[in-house]
Copies of this chain bind each other. A is one copy, B any other.
């Protein structure tokens, strides 16, 4: 007797279709140039090509002795080979030495391989007496040499368009001397909670008031996803007030997030307002919790109206808002949650088909296996079901549930 369709939601959209609709209207933020060293977590705006062969020259990968590898062939404990040390090369030195057969130079890790040499024998594998170096084993050509261009070759793509910069990318860019890169501007986000019952934690609650937990939760999710929170506010259940805030926010934000007031309750004004001011793309999504989500657009900006209950709001953010923030920055990973495979430790039946069920699970390592333990809580108001879990298993609309021992993909809570 599920009559959700009949009393306000004309049709529930699938998560997949909803994402397609959203992504079809979303625009990219503008391109800005920033310092490579400040680029952590920014999404690059174009393919970045190597501007140099790195290493810039053949370098020693060890502290040792540069030699001709052929001269070591046949060396053994009983028949060592002897080399004459003719100099040394320090790491910053432009060497002019050329070595001949059975000559060697002492060389530091990172220093240039001298002409004539084609291998380095580690200092630990030699015996030294004065200028004579004794070697007991044969080594192959190119041993312990980092060849020019072995890390990056000039002209090759080293970082692809859309990648989110991590410390190792910064190292790679710096190794080339690339000082600045093009990235997508982080989108501006406005966040509103609606409800006469809501008060900010700075105040003291009275009567049936409750503290607003959605605004601070969502604004911190936005920060993790790389958006810039330009406004966060509680709005009373008043149509004119909500309209005014929406119009203001549309002038300065790329994305606007409401929570509360999206369903079919007497004070759920958002659907009416969105239909007046914007174009409603989606109202009602086939997922639990979080079905009564509404998504609208106006001038390529997106307006998300998430359910008021914290868990539904959280999950609505992860499924729709977060990926939209990433999409606006042209990120090549729209859902940045880490994904793991785990074994579910009990049967999880679902009561209603046709919905994606977002099952919260706790993870535990048992030997070399990762085990997912469902947090069986009813009600999407229980924030503790999030703080007590590590991630979410999505039970797909056509699945009748999952069986104990099944492999499941767990999407870890963002952090």
User: Which residue numbers of A lie inside 8 Å of B, CB to CB?
Assistant: 1-4, 6-7, 36-37, 40-41, 55-57, 59, 61, 63, 88, 90-94, 106, 108-112, 123-125, 136-137, 146, 150-152, 158-159, 164, 166-172, 174-179, 195-197, 201-202, 204-205, 207-214, 216-221, 223-224, 263-267, 308-310, 314, 338-342, 365, 368-370, 378-384, 386-387, 407-409, 412-415
Interface centre among A90, A106, A124, A369 (most CB of B within 10 A): A124
| 8 Å CB contact of A201 from B124, B178, B369 | B178
Q: A124-B4, A220-B40, A341-B370 are in contact. Are A171 and B310 (CB under 8 A)?
A: yes
Residue on B nearest A382 in the bound complex, by CB: B151
A197 to B57, CA, bound (A): 13
A112 to B209, CA, bound (A): 10
Contact B386 A168 (CB under 8 A): yes
Q: For A201, what are the chain B residues with a Cβ–Cβ distance below 8 Å?
A: 36-37, 174, 177-179
Chain A interface mostly helix, strand, loop or mixed? loop
Q: For A409, what are the chain B residues with a Cβ–Cβ distance below 8 Å?
A: 365, 368
A110 to B336, CA, bound (A): 32
Contact A110 B308 (CB under 8 A): yes
Contact A265 B109 (CB under 8 A): yes
Report the minimum CB–CB distance from A251 to chain B (whole Å): 25
A326 to B144, CA, bound (A): 36
A386 to B179, CA, bound (A): 20
Report the minimum CB–CB distance from A249 to chain B (whole Å): 20
Q: For A205, what are the chain B residues with a Cβ–Cβ distance below 8 Å?
A: 56, 177
Contact B208 A112 (CB under 8 A): yes
Q: For A202, what are the chain B residues with a Cβ–Cβ distance below 8 Å?
A: 179
Contact B108 A267 (CB under 8 A): yes
